[in-house]
Chains A and B, each alone.
Chain A
Amino acid sequence: GAVVSQHPSWVICKSGTSVKIECRSLDFQATTMFWYRQFPKQSLMLMATSNEGSKATYEQGVEKDKFLINHASLTLSTLTVTSAHPEDSSFYICSGRRGLSNGYTFGSGTRLTVV
């Protein structure tokens, strides 16, 4: 089945620094990758839609200059949290789809803690 590899699985960083999260589709080409954020005991909230070779589409309320998304190839999408603050601490998850006849596959998630 479709596999999405996400790294790192967890990261602790100091306030004001930047963190990069990578998602790779291992056995399929992900034209589109979705980035979600999930706070404790809450559902997944879509942050942005990453399209290969073009600018990402951000959801309302998500700062595009703070959450930089790059989708340089059909198998790699990255999310960079710039100038991270404690309120950015969350579980970040990417998701891609291998064709219309399949569901969306999630990466394993990245737990970000900003101290």
Chain B
Amino acid sequence: QKEVEQNSGPLSVPEGAIASLNCTYSDRGSQSFFWYRQYSGKSPELIMFIYSNGDKEDGRFTAQLNKASQYVSLLIRDSQPSDSATYLCAFSGGGGYQKVTFGTGTKLQVIP
């Protein structure tokens, strides 16, 4: 079983719709969860960081964490063509500077 599972996509949504990206992880000791956006040929950029169960909202983005079910999701409201990218889910273990494990990413396409 992979440590982090993501559907590779592509996930296609029309402009203005809600895009829902999901990720499951296997390590119950994971404590910090991240969503990164990566454009082709570029380095990943952090979108959201969540460590408590529930929802965390930042602008058009909402991260949802459910530790009991071991999944984390990212909702993008009012999707824009500029949101088209690969979204990487990642997690790290307990405190300190623990290494981060990445999923393979979900490619999102927002259709104008």
**CB-defined contacts of A97 to chain B, threshold 8 Å:** 97
Interface size class for chain A? Answer: 20 to 34
Are B44 and A106 touching (Cβ within 8 A)?
Answer: yes
Are A109 and B103 touching (Cβ within 8 A)?
Answer: no
The interface stretch among A14-22, A39-47, A65-73, A81-89 is A39-47
Q: Which residues of B contact A (CB under 8 A)?
A: 34, 36, 41-46, 48-49, 88, 92, 95-97, 99-105
A49 within 8 A of B: yes
Query: Nearest Cβ distance between residue B12 and chain A, in whole angstroms?
Result: 18
**CB-defined contacts of B34 to chain A, threshold 8 Å:** 103-104
Main secondary structure of the interface of A (DSSP, over half): strand
Are B46 and A44 touching (Cβ within 8 A)?
Answer: no
Given A106-B44, A108-B43, CB of A46 within 8 Å of CB of B100: yes
Interface code A100-114, partner B: CB below 8 Å = 1, 0 otherwise?
101111111101000
Query: Nearest Cβ distance between residue A15 and chain B, in whole angstroms?
Result: 23
Given A43-B105, A44-B88, A108-B43, CB of A102 within 8 Å of CB of B49: yes
Partner of B102, one of A32, A44, A91, A103: A44
Partner of A34, one of B42, B43, B45, B99: B99
Given A34-B99, A46-B99, A95-B100, CB of A104 within 8 Å of CB of B46: yes
